[in-house]
Amino acid sequence: MNGIDTILLDLGGVLIDVDYDRTARAFRALGFEDFDRLYSKAKQTDLFDRFETGDLDAAGFRDAVRDLFRPDLTDREIDACWNAMLGSIPQERLDLVEDLKERYQVLLLSNTNAIHVPAFTEIVRRENHIADFKGLFHGAYYSCELGLRKPDKEAFVHVLERHGADPAATLFIDDSIQHVEGARKAGLRAEHLELDREDVIGLLRRLGSV
């Protein structure tokens, strides 16, 4: 951690538990057999890229799913399937953020969308009793609000410039290797969180920051 003064965290997988298979299973239960070919942790089609950058709003996304699958699906059914991947944020990870803030500038950058944002905000409000999730960080950014998404260099540059952070002095942590590679190309020090080996607390402990 020598020379690091800013930590940039991903949300899904790093802080909040995410199970992509739960969403695929939920859609399959409604008869959408090929959903996981369109969307997964490793790759996704242009539909989901557009949704994550805000080019497509929630209503447009739902209509696109109906066009791909079944025109009779309700908004509630689509949202329930789409949000099925979202788990909880263990309290110790929120405690970690508070601890890190005593020594580092702590930022959040998440590829997310207009359906997931209110869903995970409600999870944190209900389970962790936190009304202002973004307020936990020195700065928190969602791709659907920025119009930019990882792994594009512009997303990292925008966030760091907003906070006067030097890429070379910034540690980025993400569980998606393509995002880690994008951050490295933007000049950040980036660590791939391999969730089958450790969680973010273990990774930062191994790096000597906690």
Per-residue tens of pLDDT for the chain, all 210 residues: 789 999 999 999 999 999 999 999 999 999 888 787 777 655 677 888 999 999 999 999 999 999 888 999 999 999 999 999 999 999 999 999 999 999 999 999 999 999 999 999 999 999 999 999 999 999 999 999 999 999 999 999 999 999 999 999 999 999 999 999 999 999 999 999 999 999 999 999 999 986
6-18+87-207, CATH topology level: Rossmann fold (3.40.50)
Query: Rounded distance, CA 77 to CA 189, Å?
Result: 40
What pLDDT is stored for residue 79 in this prediction?
Answer: 98
What pLDDT is stored for residue 42 in this prediction?
Answer: 57
CATH 1.10.150.240 location in the chain: 20-83
Name the token pair of 41. Answer: 């942790």
Query: Rounded distance, CA 21 to CA 134, Å?
Result: 27
What residues contact 176, with CB distance under 8 A and at least 6 apart? 10, 13, 41, 42, 150
What pLDDT is stored for residue 155 in this prediction?
Answer: 98
What residues contact 147, with CB distance under 8 A and at least 6 apart? 53, 54, 55
Name the token pair of 103. Answer: 């020594």
CATH numeric code, 20-83: 1.10.150.240
CB 107 within 8 A of CB 7: yes
Query: Rounded distance, CA 73 to CA 63, Å?
Result: 9
> Considering the entire predicted model, what is its pTM?
0.94
- CA-wise closest residue to 35 among 72, 69, 66, 80: 69
Query: Rounded distance, CA 177 to CA 64, Å?
Result: 28
Give the residues across from 110 on adjacent strands.
142
CA angle, corner 144, sides to 183 and 141, nearest 5? 55
